[in-house]
A and B are shown apart, each in its own frame.
Chain A
């Protein structure tokens, strides 16, 4: 997995709440058996009109906005567990998503793919939206080490939370599989102990 340490970039404001993973990547694009190509269909039904032309009203199609940070309304990533949503965001070029709330499964999926979900207060989210909509060249810095997000022009900033284990993984580019496959002995011991416990329960019952 790619490392995430610190990122300074412009941002794209997606002013919608409860953005569900069906919108991020519609189900009809889930037939692939690899992780490639999902970026093309990110927000497919919002990005394109029925006739396949880009929808000019949708923020990803507006030239004024660019960047690898997505700013979105409350409760981002709700709905289906499809990790394809995280793959699509990543493939499109997003490295971080900022919202005042993330759905659990999406948050985990994003972290497992090196896309950082940054949860901020509704107040700070509002500041971000206002600043970026006013000046699309506004730069936002996300510093994982310091756990801080900052608006470069005004210096306004806020701290964000992240699970310390996940933080270490992202800073170093490790993933959970490396960690777990080093634990197989402990896992086997656990399996052993559990079946002993159940048998003990049986003995207690017989007595």
Chain B
């Protein structure tokens, strides 16, 4: 038998409490992140069944999906949202769970605030009732989204019954072209592999492109693993990871940190370890990407044209988007852009957008919405003076939250309008009923806002 283990095996195997013969594993969960939308029914169920929360100290809560991005100091206007947020506060209080609610300096989108506070650490198992929990895999953790019944399971036992997924590796090697961001890399991978190629798998990203990426870039990549169907994605921890974690609020300190560092350094795929499936791509082939359809796999390069061949579902998607096969998206007028969401709302995303925008002005037809992923990112934007850049260019900077990524609050894209968005899903109506989403990197979104249409800005990059 091949004794060489993958990174995924190492972490998984060290968290198995028991394997049920012919059945799933009992997997121990180190950190459980919760938010207002997918937790209330779990709390209710436990209450009804009279089951206590087993390890409240391993749970961290935030409010993000529902929250307004304006006037966060005032009571939330939407009554249903307000009730959901209030229930989260009450549930956390009754159960001794730490909550970084609206207005707290640590508040933010769950997948932005946990890494920046050092809650996310290599080698952990992390779950959250949100499919983009895969983001945390950037640290070399097994992190995945769960449904509310599973939230209840973790509340009750700090464990989950899960079948061990198969293993997939995606390698990207070479040198990325100028203007190609981590978002383009993952959109490219998904466009090549399709939206269900990863179903049943956990994906490790390997190759020099990921090794050279910042932690924030790695989070953008891992975030979208779920969009190719994979349960999660992960990247082996290295010096970049350790430097990022060190010194953060909840990271281990002193001798404890050294002990963990030694452990983290063992977390990599052994030479010769086997994967069930493997794909490789060349960095040179990747260009800035945009989507033209209603799933994230429907992506093309910015200057490309919509494939002519397609099935009934593709035709339905194009009809929804009001695009035609063979058409290019260049020169399409765009009235909305959104830079935000757990995919692209970290400081580097705003830096790259600001550096393009600086000294320019958005086109008159464009509504440009900028929503930081957390209070800490919002503060950093101010400290670095990026807020001035956005303001002078006519962009609207809001308070943190999920916002127009899923339009549960007031930040909706009107019916029929296109939005070039840095979020992760272009499903029908995702950004508001009838809205049409075009996924792209923060740079593409910024450039679109300036020109008021989709254009090939790469020529002008210096």
Inter-chain contacts of B279 with A (CB < 8 A): none
Within 8 A of B (CB), among A1-52: 15-18, 20, 22-23, 26-28, 30-35, 45, 50
* CB contact under 8 A between A198 and B263, given known A33-B41, A165-B23, A180-B26: yes
**B150-179 near A? 1/0 per residue, CB < 8 Å:** 101100111101010100000000000000
Judging by beta carbons under 8 Å apart, are A165 and B195 in contact? no
Judging by beta carbons under 8 Å apart, are A103 and B196 in contact? yes
Judging by beta carbons under 8 Å apart, are A83 and B157 in contact? no
Inter-chain contacts of A84 with B (CB < 8 A): 148
Report the bound CA distance from A83 to B37 in whole Å.
10
Judging by beta carbons under 8 Å apart, are A79 and B425 in contact? yes
Q: Of A34, A86, A180, which is in contact with the most chain B CB atoms at under 10 Å from its CB?
A: A180
CB-contact partner of A105 in B44, B147, B259, under 8 A: B147
Judging by beta carbons under 8 Å apart, are B83 and A33 in contact? yes
Report the bound CA distance from A181 to B156 in whole Å.
7
Judging by beta carbons under 8 Å apart, are A175 and B38 in contact? no
Report the bound CA distance from A82 to B42 in whole Å.
12
Judging by beta carbons under 8 Å apart, are B147 and A184 in contact? no
Distance in Å: Cβ of B291 to nearest Cβ of chain A: 13
Inter-chain contacts of A112 with B (CB < 8 A): 147, 149-150
Inter-chain contacts of B45 with A (CB < 8 A): 177
CB-contact partner of A81 in B129, B165, B316, B406, under 8 A: B129
Which of A138-146, A150-158, A185-193 has 4 or more CB atoms under 8 Å from chain B?
A: A185-193
Inter-chain contacts of A32 with B (CB < 8 A): 80, 84
Name B255's closest neighbour in chain A (CB-CB): A202
Judging by beta carbons under 8 Å apart, are A103 and B199 in contact? yes
Judging by beta carbons under 8 Å apart, are A81 and B145 in contact? yes
Judging by beta carbons under 8 Å apart, are A18 and B313 in contact? yes
Report the bound CA distance from A17 to B26 in whole Å.
33
Q: Cβ of B375 < 8 Å from any Cβ of A?
A: no
CB-contact partner of A165 in B14, B22, B156, B165, under 8 A: B22
Distance in Å: Cβ of A27 to nearest Cβ of chain B: 4
Q: Cβ of B428 < 8 Å from any Cβ of A?
A: yes
Judging by beta carbons under 8 Å apart, are A201 and B259 in contact? yes
* CB contact under 8 A between A183 and B153, given known A26-B433, A202-B259: no
Name A15's closest neighbour in chain B (CB-CB): B312
Q: Cβ of B206 < 8 Å from any Cβ of A?
A: no
Inter-chain contacts of A177 with B (CB < 8 A): 45, 49, 51, 149, 152-153, 156-157
Name A46's closest neighbour in chain B (CB-CB): B428
Q: Cβ of A73 < 8 Å from any Cβ of B?
A: yes
Report the bound CA distance from A187 to B151 in whole Å.
17
Report the bound CA distance from A27 to B84 in whole Å.
14
Judging by beta carbons under 8 Å apart, are A109 and B149 in contact? yes
Inter-chain contacts of B145 with A (CB < 8 A): 81, 105
Q: Cβ of A163 < 8 Å from any Cβ of B?
A: yes
Q: Cβ of B275 < 8 Å from any Cβ of A?
A: no
Distance in Å: Cβ of A117 to nearest Cβ of chain B: 12
Within 8 A of A (CB), among B260-275: 262-263
CB-contact partner of A74 in B17, B24, B196, under 8 A: B196
Inter-chain contacts of B49 with A (CB < 8 A): 177
Instruction: Report how many A-B pairs have Cβ atoms within 8 Å.
Output: 190
Distance in Å: Cβ of A192 to nearest Cβ of chain B: 11
How large, as a class, is the contact surface on chain B? 35 or more
**A192-206 near B? 1/0 per residue, CB < 8 Å:** 001000100110010
Judging by beta carbons under 8 Å apart, are B199 and A27 in contact? no
Within 8 A of A (CB), among B347-375: none
Q: Cβ of B229 < 8 Å from any Cβ of A?
A: yes
**A144-180 near B? 1/0 per residue, CB < 8 Å:** 0000000000000000000111100000000111011
Distance in Å: Cβ of B381 to nearest Cβ of chain A: 26
Inter-chain contacts of B231 with A (CB < 8 A): 104-105
Report the bound CA distance from A177 to B204 in whole Å.
30
* CB contact under 8 A between A184 and B40, given known A22-B428, A78-B229, A112-B150: no
Distance in Å: Cβ of A23 to nearest Cβ of chain B: 6
Q: Cβ of B459 < 8 Å from any Cβ of A?
A: no
Q: Cβ of B395 < 8 Å from any Cβ of A?
A: no
Q: Cβ of B200 < 8 Å from any Cβ of A?
A: yes
Q: Cβ of A108 < 8 Å from any Cβ of B?
A: yes
Judging by beta carbons under 8 Å apart, are A180 and B147 in contact? no
Q: Cβ of A55 < 8 Å from any Cβ of B?
A: no
Distance in Å: Cβ of B195 to nearest Cβ of chain A: 6
Judging by beta carbons under 8 Å apart, are B161 and A179 in contact? yes
Inter-chain contacts of A190 with B (CB < 8 A): 17, 28
Judging by beta carbons under 8 Å apart, are B157 and A184 in contact? yes
Inter-chain contacts of B152 with A (CB < 8 A): 177
Report the bound CA distance from A136 to B170 in whole Å.
44
Judging by beta carbons under 8 Å apart, are A81 and B38 in contact? yes
Distance in Å: Cβ of A42 to nearest Cβ of chain B: 14
Report the bound CA distance from A51 to B397 in whole Å.
33
Judging by beta carbons under 8 Å apart, are B23 and A163 in contact? yes
Judging by beta carbons under 8 Å apart, are B259 and A45 in contact? no
Inter-chain contacts of A183 with B (CB < 8 A): 17-18, 26, 157, 159
Name A28's closest neighbour in chain B (CB-CB): B408
The residues of A with any CB-CB pair to B shorter than 8 Å are 15-18, 20, 22-23, 26-28, 30-35, 45, 50, 73-75, 78-84, 86, 101-105, 108-109, 112-113, 163-166, 175-177, 179-181, 183-184, 186-187, 190-191, 194, 198, 201-202, 205
The 8 A-B residue pairs whose C-beta atoms are closest, nearest first, are A165-B23, A112-B149, A33-B40, A31-B80, A109-B147, A83-B147, A180-B157, A17-B313
**A–B pairs, 20, beta carbons within 8 Å:** A27-B408, A30-B408, A34-B40, A79-B425, A81-B146, A83-B149, A86-B147, A103-B199, A103-B229, A104-B165, A104-B200, A109-B147, A112-B147, A166-B23, A176-B161, A177-B152, A183-B18, A198-B259, A201-B263, A202-B255
Apart from A33-B87, A105-B131, what 14 extra A-B contacts exist at CB < 8 Å? Answer: A17-B311, A23-B427, A82-B38, A83-B41, A86-B147, A105-B145, A163-B24, A165-B161, A180-B26, A183-B18, A186-B17, A187-B26, A201-B262, A201-B263
